[in-house]
Each structure stands twice: as C-alpha cells, then as structure tokens.
C-alpha cells in the first residue's frame, strides 16, 4: 500500500495488513508506530479506525489533526494524508480500509462522507476498536460480514449520507432460520443464506437484522447452542455435541455455552442428572 514501507527502520515500529479472502474491497490494518513518519499517501477506500493508545498527528485536507486515545479516525476515500506520533511512546491503532462500493452494499446508503477527520466519541471508539479486533480474528465469512455490518452501523452516526435507500418492510425469514437449523455443522456464508431469502447478501443482512434484532451469525450461534443444549440433555458428551453443531471443539462449546446459559456443559448435564 502506498505510504507504508515494506520494513521500518526502527524496531519500535510495527504494522500489519490483512485481507478477508471472501470479501474484496476491504483491508484490515493494525500498527504501533513510534518513530516512523508516513509521507502523504492515499487509500482507495475510506480509512476508518480507532486510536487505542498514544496520540497521532496527521495532515489531511490541508489541516493538521490530532487523534488522542479513544478517538475515531474518519478519512474519506482517495484523500491524501500523512501520519506520525505526537507522543514519545508512539501511538497504537487499528484501521479498516473499505472501498465506497462495499460501504454502499453493506449499509444500503449512497455517498458516505465524513466532514470531521477525528471523532471525539470515546465510548464509540472503544466499541469500534473492539469490533476491529474481532474482525481481525474472524475465521468464518458469515461472522466477518456480520461484524462488518455492526462496525459500519456504529460509524453511521458520524457519516453524512447523500441519499438513503428506501426503507422496506420486514420480511418473514422462517425459511432461512430453518435452513440454518438443517445445516448447523456446515460453514454458512452470507451469500448462501441470502440465496435462500432471494435477496442480495447485504440487503438480506440488513433486513434480517431489522426483523430479528440480531445478525445472521448471532442467530446461527444461538441455534447451534440451543441444539447443543438438547444434545447434552439427551446424554451426548460435550465433545460430541460440539462436533454435531459445527463448533470448533469442546472448549469453544464450553465458552459459548457458559456465556449464554451461565453454566458449563458438564455442569448442565450434572444438574439434569441430579434432578431426575
């Protein structure tokens, strides 16, 4: 990417890019920069991110800007900008670069534009930082797309929009939910679920969220854990239940089950046995 060297001169500086294989037009970025000064460069997409620590100074649209901890960075596409540390210990931050066509596809809004390069919105910046960390480690395409939708929803309040897509009535997504139930152990993609509903992928995601107040990934995980609960109650081992519902392993089931039900799978089974 223009403006970012292949290697930094100082060992104190580190930066890393990552692209989701299934979703073109998106690039994730995380860095801790102490000494390097980025020369003026640009990105094809919006540069959206959060400052985790330290302060960044950058020149953008003819003005100098300071981005302190727990602030948002909100750069429009194809805008030249620089970047360097304002604090001795540098600054740590995460970004996502998203092409405008992808933003429009995900949100249904045309003509996103940010009038302020820095958003002083600490609670939202922390949420955005958390979402960017989750996007970095998201392995499943559906999970990634759902997080991306949530991220842009968080940032929507800071964006000016040329014209919003018309609001459409909620649809009944019972066939999609039943499809999820029938394919719990498979890797489901947004495209595959949208095809069941007969909609384009992100159009489907928006309408599904409006109907169920949850992303498809959240619904899928809820269905997986509910099915695991039934299997545990029927006497299957946690390892068997995890494999049957498409979770990575027993540890994944244990964490997810406890977050939703307040007990571990083993304790749940023991409680059922005691009460019989």
230-254 pLDDT, tens per residue? Answer: 999 999 999 999 999 999 899 999 9
Give the C-alpha separation, 139 to 117, whole Å: 31
Phi, psi (5° rounding) for residue 59? -100, 130
Q: What is the pLDDT of residue 170?
A: 42
Is 3's pLDDT higher than 90?
no
Rounded to whole angstroms, the Cα distance separating 24 from 101 reads: 10
Closest CA to 14 of 80, 90, 81: 90
Q: What is the pLDDT of residue 7?
A: 57
CA neighbours within 13 Å on the CB side: how many for 73?
A: 32
Domains of the chain in sequence order: 14-158 (2.60.120.280), 171-276 (1.10.10.60)
Split at pLDDT 50, 70, 90, the class of 8 is low
CA distance 4 to 251: 39
3-state secondary structure at position 126? helix
Q: How confident is the model at residue 100 (pLDDT cuts 50, 70, 90)?
A: very high
CA atoms within 13 A on the CB side of 253: 29
Q: Rounded distance, CA 253 to CA 225, Å?
A: 8
Which of these ranges, 10-19, 70-79, 110-119, 176-185, has the smallest mean pLDDT?
10-19
Query: Which DSSP state fits 236?
Result: -
Per-residue pLDDT at 1: 44
**pTM of structure:** 0.83
Three-class secondary structure of residue 274 per DSSP: helix
DSSP H/E element including 233: helix 216-233
pLDDT in tens, 170-206: 456 899 999 999 999 999 999 999 999 999 999 999 9
DSSP 165-231: PPP------HHHHHHHHHTTTS---HHHHHHHHTS-HHHHHHHHHHHHSS-HHHHHHHHHHHHHHHH
What is the C-alpha separation between 195 and 115, in angstroms, rounded? Answer: 37
CA distance 50 to 37: 18
How far is 202 from 81, CA to CA, in rounded Å? 30
Evaluate if residue 275 carries a pLDDT over 60: no
Q: What is the mean pLDDT of the chain?
A: 90
Rg (CA), the chain: 22
Q: How far apart are CA 60 and CA 80, in angstroms?
A: 6
């Amino acid at each position: 990417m223009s403006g970012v060297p292949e290697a930094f001169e100082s060992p104190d500086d580190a930066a890393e890019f990552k692209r989701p294989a299934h979703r073109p037009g998106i690039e994730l970025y995380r860095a801790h920069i102490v000494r390097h000064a980025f020369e003026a460069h640009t990105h094809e997409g919006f540069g959206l991110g959060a400052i985790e620590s330290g302060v960044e100074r950058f020149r953008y649209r003819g003005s100098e800007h300071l981005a302190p901890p727990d602030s948002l960075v909100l750069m429009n596409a194809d805008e030249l900008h620089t970047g360097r540390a304002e604090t001795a210990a540098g600054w740590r931050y995460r970004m996502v670069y998203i092409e405008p066509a992808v933003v429009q596809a995900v949100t249904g809004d045309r003509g996103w534009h940010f009038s302020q390069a820095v958003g002083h919105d600490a609670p939202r910046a922390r949420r955005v930082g958390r979402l960017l960390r989750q996007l970095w480690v998201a392995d499943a395409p559906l999970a990634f797309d759902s997080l991306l939708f949530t991220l842009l929803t968080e940032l929507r309040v800071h964006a000016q929009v040329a014209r919003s897509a018309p609001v459409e009535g909620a649809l009944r997504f019972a066939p999609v939910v039943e499809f999820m139930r029938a394919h719990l152990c498979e890797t489901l993609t947004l495209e595959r679920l949208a095809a069941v509903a007969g909609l384009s992928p992100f159009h489907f995601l928006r309408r599904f969220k409006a109907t169920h107040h949850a992303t498809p990934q959240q619904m899928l995980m809820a269905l997986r854990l509910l099915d695991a609960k039934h299997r545990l109650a029927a006497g299957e081992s946690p390892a068997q239940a995890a494999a049957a519902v498409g979770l990575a392993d027993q540890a994944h089931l244990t964490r997810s089950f406890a977050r939703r039900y307040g007990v571990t799978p083993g304790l749940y089974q023991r409680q059922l046995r005691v009460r019989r």
